[in-house]
Amino acid sequence: MVALNYNHLRYFWAVAHDGNLTRTAERLNLSQSALSVQIKKLEDRLGHALFERRGRQLHLTEAGRIALDHADTIFSAGDELVGTLKETGRARRALRVGALATLSRNFQLGFLRPVIYRPDVEVVLRSGSPTELLRALESLNLDVVLTNRPPALDAVTPFVSHRLAEQRVSLVGPRSDEASGGGLREHLAARPVILPTPESSVRIGFDALTDRLGVRPQVAAEVDDMAMMRLLAREGIGLAVLPPIVVKEELESGLLVELDRLPGIAETFHAVTMERRFPNPLIKTLLHGEAFRVDA
C-alpha cells in the first residue's frame, strides 16, 4: 500500500481552511498551478474529488469534509507533540488555564492553589466567553477551561467535562439586615435584590423559588459578572443571590453575612479538558490530587 504524502495533505488542509486557492498560494509563496497539482495528487491517491468549484469559490465535497476532519486531527497532534517535547528539560512547566469571564475569582484561585506557588510551574490564565475558551482548548492553546456551564457533549465531541464541586447559593447582605430578623420570605419582600442574569441556572432556580414563596422581590440589578455582584453587595444596594465563596473575604471579616441559604439552588463548577495524546501532567494533579473542593 502506497503511503499518504503528508505534504499533499498539508496543502489541501491550508486551502480547505482558507477557502481560496489564490490566497493560499500567496500565503505559501507558491504558484496557483503548483498548488493545484499538489491537491490533484492527493485526490488521485484518495480516489475522490475533495473540492468542487462554485463560481470563484472552492467548496468541500463530502470526501473533502472527511479528509479535513482527519487532517485537523493529524496536524493538531503534530503541533501538540512539538509543543510538549519543547517543554522537556525546562526548569518551569507552563499550565494554560482558561476561565469563564464571569466565574468566581475565589474559585479560580482555590482550584489553582496546589500549583500556583510551585517554583517549577508558570500559570497562564486567560478569561473569555465559552465559545472563545473551548475554541482555544480545541486548538491546544489551553490545557483546561474552568466554567459553571459545561459544554454539550455527544459522541464526536472531543471535550471531557469534570464536575469539580457544587456550591450552595445564598442570600447575602449587610449585617444590619441580619439584625432586622425575619425569614427568607421577609427578607425578599423587604429589600431589593442583586440577581444573576435570566439565562443562568441560578437565576432560573431563584425565579422558581420566589414563585413558590409567593414573593415578587424588587430587582436592584441584574449582573452576569460575579466580581461585579460582589462589589454591589459591598455597596449595600441590595441583597445578593450568589454562592458564598464569591464573597468569602467579606463574610470572614463580617462586612457581609449569609442571611439565608436558598433551598434547592446550587452552582456547579466544572473543569473541561480535551482528549490528548500528550496531556499536561499538571492537570492530573489538579483533578485527582488535593485539588480544590467547595463545601456543599
Domains defined along the chain, listed by start: 6-76 (1.10.10.10), 87-164+270-288 (3.40.190.10), 166-267 (3.40.190.290)
Write down the H helix ranges in the chain: 6-18, 21-28, 32-46, 62-87, 105-116, 130-138, 175-179, 184-190, 201-213, 226-235, 248-253, 281-288
When comparing pLDDT for 276 and 229, which is higher?
Answer: 229
pTM: 0.60
- Residue 248's identity, in one-letter code, is K
Q: Is residue 291 predicted with pLDDT exceeding 60?
A: no
According to DSSP, residue 3 is labeled P
Question: CA dist 109 to 237, 279, 291, Å?
Answer: 27, 22, 11
Q: Kindly state the average pLDDT of the residues 84-102.
A: 73
Average pLDDT score over the chain = 84
The three-class DSSP label of residue 159 is strand
Most confident of 90-104, 147-161, 204-218: 204-218
For helices 32-46 and 6-18, the axis angle rounded to 10 degrees is 110
Tell me: the pLDDT tens digits for 10-28?
999 998 888 888 888 888 8
Q: Kindly state the average pLDDT of the residues 241-267.
A: 90
**Predicted local confidence at residue 89, as pLDDT:** 52
Listed residue (24, 18, 12) closest to 64, CA to CA: 12
The dihedrals phi and psi of 279, each to the nearest 5 degrees, come to: -70, 150
- Residue 194's identity, in one-letter code, is I
CB 241 within 8 A of CB 223: no
pLDDT band at residue 2, thresholds of 50, 70 and 90?
Answer: low
